[in-house]
Amino acid sequence: NDEFEANMAGFDYIQAFALCVKESKDAVDSVVIDILRNKQRKGELISWDSWTLGLEASLTALLPREYATSPFPAIFGELVYILGDAEEDANQANFCRALQAGAIYVAVCLSLFTATHSPKAYESRLSPILSHYSHTTKKLWQVEPNVQKKHTFAMMKSIVDGIAGVIAVGYHDGKQYLKPVSVPQILDDGTVSEGSASS
């Protein structure tokens, strides 16, 4: 699609995805451990099979409708491969790997969307993540009218663990994992480290 090709010009989303895999693993694993602890406290059964099978539908529900056909076929192909592996051999390690890949995929898609759509164009039903951060995104566009893809990726990258929490247990229970995002920090150099998003 020519429009998507043009939108992606100037930012290497495939490289960004790969770097984010290395940087967000521990944070996503911590969210899964916390979710497990909460479920065990409530006496809920741990079912890696059904949890893993539900991942694709859960992450798709966080994307704008026009991204039903992926703007990133190469990254989506890798994600499908990882999900397939996890479904074949469902366990905690594979679930965490698939959940992390799904969360980064959502982050990449939403970072492209927020870089190419003014917040004024958002509808609340677009994505629970976009709705949750609508104030932050509006502030980003006010402070930096020339919003760049590196800025919106920095924002989404800083909340990958929170996105993972929402994919795993839904927005209502998962929003506790969505950290505040500092707009000045995003703009500083377009790179926000995992642990510093709430400062």
pLDDT profile of the chain (199 residues), mean per 10: 55 90 95 96 93 96 89 93 95 97 97 87 77 92 88 95 98 96 82 37
Domain range spanning residue 178? Answer: 12-196
CA–CA gap between residue 108 and residue 91 (Å, rounded)? 26
170 falls within a domain:
yes
pLDDT of residue 199: 29
Q: Within a domain: residue 69?
A: yes
Written as one letter, the residue type at 43 is: G
> And the tokens for 126?
């677009």
Does residue 173 sit within a domain?
yes
Based on the structure, what is the number of domains in the chain? 1
Is 146 a member of any domain? Answer: yes
Query: Within a domain: residue 2?
Result: no
Task: State residue 9's pLDDT score.
Answer: 62
pLDDT at 68: 83
* Residue 19 falls inside a structural domain: yes
Residue 5 belongs to a domain: no
Radius of gyration, alpha carbons of the chain: 16
Question: Among all chains, which residue has been given the structure tokens 């980003």?
Answer: 140
Q: What is the pLDDT of residue 118?
A: 83
Distances, alpha carbon 56 to alpha carbons 9, 35, 99, in Å: 27, 18, 9
pLDDT at 66: 85
Is the CB of residue 154 less than 8 Å from the CB of residue 23?
Answer: no
In terms of phi and psi (left: phi > 0; alpha: psi -120 to 50; beta: otherwise), the region of 178 is beta
Spatial CB neighbours of 187, under 8 Å, sequence gap ≥ 6: 140, 143, 144, 151
pLDDT at 124: 61
User: Taking the C-alpha atoms of 120, 115, 190 and 103 in order, what is their torsion angle to the nearest 10 degrees?
Assistant: 100
Q: 3 lies in a domain?
A: no
pTM value is: 0.89
pLDDT of residue 197: 36
Alpha-carbon gap, residue 99 to 29, rounded angstroms: 9
Q: How far is CA 147 from CA 10, 14, 119, in A?
A: 13, 20, 11
pLDDT at residue number 38: 95
